[in-house]
Amino acid sequence: MTAVAVVLLALVALGLGYRFYSRFLAERIFELRADEPVPAVEREDGVDFVPTRREVLWGHHFASIAGAAPILGPAMAIVWGWVPALIWIVVGVIFMGATHDFGALVLSMRHGGQSVGNLTERFIGPRSRLLFQIVIFFLIWMVGAVFAFSIAKLFVAYSASILPVNLEIVVAVAIGWLGYKRNLGLFWPCLAVLIGLYAIIVGTATGFLWVPAEGSIFLSVDFWLVALMVYAYVASSLPVWLLLQPRDLVNSHQLIVGLSVLYVGFFVARPELVAPAVGELSTLPALFPLLMVTIACGSISGFHGLVSSGTTSKQLCRAADARPIGYGAMLVEACLAILATMAVAAGMMSDGVQHAFEHVQAASLAGGNSLPGVGVALSAFVEGAASFLTALGIPIEVGSTVVAVLVISFAATSLDTALRIQRMILAEVGRTYRIKPLENRWFGGLIACGTVLALIYADKANGAKSLWPVFGATNQVLAALTLLLCALYLRTLGRRTAAYAIPAVLVLAVTFTAMGLQVFRDFGAGRHLVATVGAVIAVLTLWVAIEGGLAWRRGPARA
């Protein structure tokens, strides 16, 4: 089967999933009504609760969930072969990932915009709430470290991306201020920014505009790690309308345009599959269950539930928008994951993609039966995807910069969204246990960003490589617990629960097994910090899961 035929089948499956399964969930399971009250309107405060038009909120939500993870995961997982990767991406996203995101959004929307961590007390018990919030804290801790390191590595490897990415942030703030204070629409200004962004990319890629010279501080990974935490601290504490919404709208346009052009380049090039359908399993880590947690966000992600309940539910202006935003955005992210798989699995006459796959495979074997590092996986995607653009006559230098800016923009969006959520989680803990400083957004943001920077430097020698499997397992364990919450909620309403209860059990079993294997492996390799974090998360997860099972046995609680 050709690469084009494989991708077409995958995309048709995603389309059918949205057309039929998402409608089934909305109409038959949740019985979603267009006139339902929403917290953005009832609790509007101009900072976090802000009623937002569907296209703008879709852009924010999509940009927040579609970070580097749906690229990194498939680029790493390709060592097991493209068949297992694509099966898990397509089947997983339709029946688990998009189902999870949609459920978390509806659940939060119907409970005042509360996070899934806060809702644990209502459906499982007060003790589980704190345990759940600790798991969330650890997950976001690792999300921040992995994404910050990814951005820093890409800035250094593709220095022509530095100017476009940072100018976009400055201009987004100006647009946000004009849009909110002057009541101007965001669509056309953001479209103009996107056009300007591509013009700057061409200028830096061709050397016409400024690019840092060798030896510059802007080509230091350490500089960017610190700078990114300073940026995230400020961005995660600002009102959502000032930076988050306009920048995410620009980035959503950027991804739609970029993804469309990359797919056009892929179909024009008609590349051949050069990666094996199934890898040499005897020389690789166990396909089951590590494939699932490696692909992570490309199929199902607990972090998405935090975005749905942490920020998106507080901006919905109509309940009917939950389906295209919650379920639909995750399917588009799966399109990105499919493209990432093809970027490393399919070769072209330029050999760009062939080299990318060889880099990933070599890194895995050289690492002693381990997965490739973050930097290698990202470079593999950038090189492979840029080679698709050459089929459209775009020079490889411009193409690689376009792809690098795309990846960095979304990783940065996920970074500051994650730390905004971390700040909110800390505020919830502060209100619950009467720790007033944690309720201050600037103090909470300082703790969130400071702890991420500490973790980055604790694992800097490994280049965040050892963090990825623990991040993936924690991410999907959290998704399983969120699915369980949705199932418990549906049970209180007397509705059918199988659509959420079955995925919850399957995901929990798979990822808990993977987490156990990874903890033993990290302890054996001397990675004691990562192993300890993984062990703590495993114990907390088991505890919450047991209490969830007991809650299920007790029967329906209040909705």
Can you tell me the distance from the alpha carbon of 528 to that of 27, in angstroms, rounded to the nearest whole number?
48
- pLDDT given at position 350: 41
pLDDT < 50 regions, the chain: 348-353, 367-369
Contacts 24+ apart (CB under 8 A), 367-373: 367/465, 369/283, 369/284, 369/285, 370/285, 370/465, 371/76, 371/79, 371/285, 371/294, 371/465, 371/468, 371/469, 372/75, 372/76, 372/79, 372/465, 373/462, 373/463, 373/464, 373/465
Give me the DSSP letters along 91-146. Answer: HHIIIIIHHHHHHHHHHHHTTTT--HHHHHHHHT-HHHHHHHHHHHHHHHHHHHHH
- In the chain, domain spans: 3-159+210-466
Can you tell me the distance from the alpha carbon of 63 to that of 178, in angstroms, rounded to the nearest whole number?
21
**CATH number for the domain whose boundaries are 3-159+210-466:** 1.10.4160
C-alpha torsion sign, points 342, 343, 347, 348: positive
Closest among 169, 183, 177 to 227, alpha carbons compared: 169
Question: CB–CB of 279/437 below 8 Å?
Answer: no
**How many CA atoms does the CB half-sphere of 185 hold within 13 Å?**
6
Pair of tokens at residue 233: 């601290």
- pLDDT given at position 88: 93
The residues near 512 (Cβ < 8 Å, ≥ 6 apart) are 473, 477, 538, 541, 542, 545
Can you tell me the distance from the alpha carbon of 314 to that of 112, in angstroms, rounded to the nearest whole number?
8
204: exposed, middle or buried (C-beta count within 10 Å: 0-12, 13-18, 19+)? buried
- pLDDT given at position 335: 94
pTM as predicted: 0.85
Q: What is the pLDDT of residues 3-46, one digit of tens each?
A: 899 999 999 999 999 999 999 999 999 999 988 999 989 888 87
276: exposed, middle or buried (C-beta count within 10 Å: 0-12, 13-18, 19+)? middle
Question: CB–CB of 74/340 below 8 Å?
Answer: yes
